[in-house]
Amino acid sequence: MHSDSGPASVRWQTELARVGALSGREKQVFALLGAGHSNRGIATRLDVTERTVKAHVANILVKLQVESRLQAGLVAQVYESMYEGTVSEPTSVSDN
């Protein structure tokens, strides 16, 4: 990870460049992570099991080379702010 100095786009440049390595489904999970959704909420939205979501999250961490789902979510937020609308988020369903 990078230091906290400079604009977000520079601090996260390496991780942002790795977003292209994500599959389409991983990008959907990535976007939902950035929006703060739980594994259960992501599973409900994508109509998959929580186990499947956990596998996607694990793949995302490896591909982005980050250590936690929080870091992946932060990368997703920066990515969304820079490239708004390029990561599709499924229709809204309550995250109960």
Q: How confident is the model at residue 87 (pLDDT cuts 50, 70, 90)?
A: low
How high is the pLDDT of residue 40?
Answer: 97
How high is the pLDDT of residue 27?
Answer: 94
Please report the domains of the chain, with CATH numbers, ordered by start residue: 20-83 (1.10.10.10)
Q: Check: CB of residue 5 under 8 Å from CB of residue 62.
A: no
CA proximity to 69, closest of 11, 30, 18: 30
How many residues does this entry show for the chain? 96
Q: What percent of the chain has pLDDT over 70?
A: 75
pLDDT exceeds cutoff 80 at 91: no
14 versus 74: the higher-pLDDT residue is 74
How high is the pLDDT of residue 50?
Answer: 97
**Based on C-alpha coordinates, what's the Rg of the chain?**
13
Predicted confidence (pLDDT) per residue in 2-35, tens digit:
445 555 556 678 888 899 899 999 999 999 999 9
